[in-house]
Amino acid sequence: MNGRHERKAAGRMYEMEYPAPIQFDRPSIADATAGLGGAEDGAEELPMLVALQGYADAGQAVSSASSHLLAALEHSPVASFKVDELIDYRSRRPGVTIDNSKVVDSDDVRLDLHLVKDTQGRPFLLLSGLEPDLKWGAFSDAVVDLARRGQVGMVASLYSAPMTVPHTRPLVISAHASDSSLIQDFHTWDSRMIVPGAAALETEKKLNRHGFETIGLTAHVPHYIATSDYPEATLRLLQAFGEVADRDLPLKALEKELERVQHQLQDQVEDSQEIATVVSALEHQYDAEMERMRRKRENNLLKPGQDIPTGEELGAEFEAFLQNMSDENRADSDEQEDN
């Protein structure tokens, strides 16, 4: 399939806004990035943030990240995806409002690309809304098409996963990327692993194949509050995106919300000896793991004659870590059933 046919197929997945807030299919995007420098043609490549609801969204961190940005920053619609082709409404039944025995409204189901300006007026693209249930291949092709047409440079995807960590310790952001230089300041999994698929991960793969820089940022949310709003995860994800994309984001409201939730959690710990015991055990596990990682980083400066760990050795170490987490989760579940 040639480029023209690929463009036509991808275009069926979305509709462009008119007039578009940025110039597509032209040598530069100066209207959006005037005076910022960057690319050789005088236009800066735009960063793109992908924040899809429905997968790896513990603590509602990902969905809250996109809603916070759209509420706090100036933005304009760029493209709207055709959700009737991508969403299985039976799996995500939108809420319907009945007033005085009459159906009057239903929740809007959307999947959109916006041009957003940070607090300094610097633009970036935000892809947000429900994760597609269907046609992941066509959807990811469409995202690649939009990224190419909009002269996107780097694409960051947000995830949030429940982990056996306490809320009383600093929240960890782990990362994966197409270029290791992008994630030097983050925790990483230095081994081969298999995780459940997602539309955002499929899109990362396609973007990588087309030469775009990609980074995935995952917040580690305490598993016992994964179903509740956890603003610290949202805050840390947006801080991480701001750093890698060089964008200034408004975060004070999230910081205040974080303090409120932390006070609530502390009150619950003080009121329940059972909860306090669980949190204390997680603290010891967290501290031990952080110390192990610190020593590992120090040991990476190998002594003369010291062998570098093989991929198999690193993989075995990670499998042991996952098994340890699984055993502890199983033990916690057994204790809850006994009680």
More confident residue, 13 or 117: 117
Token readout for 243 is: 């750093």
Between helix 199-209 and helix 136-149 the angle, nearest 10°, is: 50
Q: Identify the band that residue 295 occupies on the pLDDT scale cut at 50, 70 and 90.
A: confident
Q: Computed over its alpha carbons, how large is the radius of gyration of the chain?
A: 22
| Over residues 113-124, mean pLDDT | 97
Helix, strand, coil fractions of the chain, as percent rounded to 5: 45, 20, 35
CATH 3.40.50.10900 domain span(s) along the chain = 3-250
Q: Identify the band that residue 292 occupies on the pLDDT scale cut at 50, 70 and 90.
A: confident
- 114: β partners: 77, 126
pLDDT tens figures, 296-321: 767 765 445 445 444 455 445 545 54
d(CA 304, CA 234): 44
> Helix, strand or coil for residue 51?
strand
Q: Identify the band that residue 19 occupies on the pLDDT scale cut at 50, 70 and 90.
A: confident
pLDDT tens figures, 71-91: 999 999 999 999 999 999 998
Architecture of domain 3-250: 3-Layer(aba) Sandwich (3.40)
- Flag whether pLDDT at 333 surpasses 80: no
Q: Who's near 240: CB < 8 A, 6+ residues apart?
A: 173, 175, 186, 217
- Flag whether pLDDT at 126 surpasses 90: yes
Average pLDDT, the chain: 84
Nearest to residue 161, comparing CAs of 233, 69, 75? 233
Token readout for 279 is: 């949190």
More confident residue, 215 or 268: 215
Nearest to residue 231, comparing CAs of 199, 256, 201, 203? 256
Q: Which helix (H) or strand (E) holds 260?
A: helix 252-271
pLDDT tens figures, 157-202: 999 999 999 999 999 999 999 999 999 889 888 788 898 999 999 9
d(CA 242, CA 245): 5
Question: Percent of the chain, pLDDT > 90?
Answer: 65
Q: Is the CB of residue 102 less than 8 Å from the CB of residue 277?
A: no
pLDDT tens figures, 227-245: 999 999 999 999 999 999 9
| Over residues 144-168, mean pLDDT | 95
DSSP at 300: T
* CB neighbour burial string for 105-131, b if at least 16 within 10 angstroms, e if fewer: eeeeeebbbbbbbbeeebbbbbbbbbb
Token readout for 41 is: 């043609």
